[in-house]
Amino acid sequence: MSKRDMKWETLESKYLIKRPWLTARRDKVKLPTGAVNNEYYVLEYPDWVNVIAITKEGKFVFVRQYRYALDCTSYEICAGVMEKDEQPLEAIQRELQEETGYAGGEWKEWMNISANASANTNLTHCFLAIGVEKISGQHLDATEDIEVCLFSKEEVLRMLKNDEIKQALMAAPLWRYFAENKHFHQ
């Protein structure tokens, strides 16, 4: 394996927009080769979280919601944005209860992934929660319209195989779940 330092040097940095949900900057960077890229664009986001939540009865807790950018209604695992000074586990447990009313169970960190390591500054912290239970109703923000859906392992695997889960940050941990539970594959 190569040990060559490949870190780029930032020569200039200018913010183009700084809004709560969109922060973009244009950097001028120098590569170790000496090449200079005068326009390298970076999107800054807070870290995100998601969870594969499975009930005591073995059902996968999903949400169904409209996604404006793709103009489609989709099934997804529960996810959200980490608040300032919030830890990943604390954030996703809050999101799961707010969006679905489910909580409890045994939790473990599943994986950390990037939506686009070339342009995004954040990570998505993925968790697996086994044995969650419905303890309350939903507590949605005014801009959220979310339905809660429960699926069997067979149904989730079918959705993955049929390319029905479009969000890559959700498909990746689900595919890992099924890869590590190979005895289940049909």
DSSP for 78-140, written as a single string? EEEEPPTT--HHHHHHHHHHHHHSEE-SEEEEEEEE-S-TTTB---EEEEEEEEEEE-S----
Q: Is the pTM of this model over 0.75?
A: yes
Distance CA 76, CA 146 (A): 10
Buried b (16+ CB within 10 A) or exposed e, 40-57: bebeebbebbbbbbbbee
Question: Tell me, what DSSP letter sits at residue 154?
Answer: H
pLDDT in tens, 73-127: 999 999 999 998 999 999 999 999 999 999 999 999 999 999 999 999 999 999 9
Q: What is the pLDDT of residues 43-55, one digit of tens each?
A: 999 999 999 999 9
Q: Are 29 and 36 in contact (CB under 8 A)?
A: yes
Domains defined along the chain, listed by start: 9-44 (no CATH), 48-181 (3.90.79.10)
